[in-house]
Amino acid sequence: MAALPGTALRRRIYLMRHAEVSYFDAAGKPLDPRHVPLTARGRRQAGAAAEQLAAVAFELAVCSGLPRTAETARLVLGERELPLMEDPRLKEVKAGRLAAVPAADRERVIAYAYDGAEAMGAAFIGGERWTDFQQRVLAAWAALLALDGWRNMLVVAHDAVNRVLLAHVAGAGLAGLKAFEQDPACINMIELDIDAGQVSRAFLRGVNHAPYDPARIDSRATVMEGIYRAFAPD
């Protein structure tokens, strides 16, 4: 039977969030997120993802350029002789100062940071506006889709970056960000049908799969709830 139109050129993006890092020191004070490395558990998480993706023939690999995404990507790629491209437009959304959030608002603003992203003028914890962030991430997305000569692409980015992309493919926009939880080193699969050089269809085949803990037996907190709990203000 002949392939359906478009499926002969169906492409797949394996979209990952970087593995675990610590954003706070032992006293609960924020570290510079631009430089934090993977934790030992994070390296094990990336190793589990590498085992899951060992048989995938990647033609392209991309990360945001921040150390935590580059380290995760290199662990997943293993011994593949494949250059790791960087696109700074895939860097995580910029937060304001956590300490500047009034104590009475801290749980709402930090733990539920994705709620209300679609509201006019909304920003991430007093930092980057969601509309500006969405614009830069979707510009990077368009540039990735315009690249030729690939069937399987690895993209290692960040929690909010991935949420924007998943919500975009699902047609949910910024209002959908809160629905797409992204655990450390999770794997998402986005498939694209190509017709006359253009994307004619995009859909989700898998979302937030964590190879190291697929059933999430002991994990109920969201990423932002974890950050809220770890932060210890002065």
Question: How confident is the model over 89-127, as pLDDT tens digits?
Answer: 999 999 999 989 999 999 999 999 999 999 999 999 999
175-176-181 Cα angle (round to 5): 135
- DSSP structural state of residue 226: H
The answer on pLDDT for 72 being more than 70 is yes
Which tens digit of pLDDT belongs to each residue from 202-231?
999 999 999 999 999 888 999 999 999 888
Give bridge partners of residue 21 from the DSSP assignment. 38
Q: Which of 7-11, 135-139, 159-163, 166-170 has the lowest mean pLDDT?
A: 7-11
pLDDT digits (tens, 9 = 90+) for 38-56: 999 999 999 999 999 999 9
Distance spanning both ends of the chain, measured CA to CA: 67
Predicted TM-score (pTM) of the model is: 0.94
Task: Give the domains, in start order, of the chain with CATH numbers.
Answer: 7-229 (3.40.50.1240)
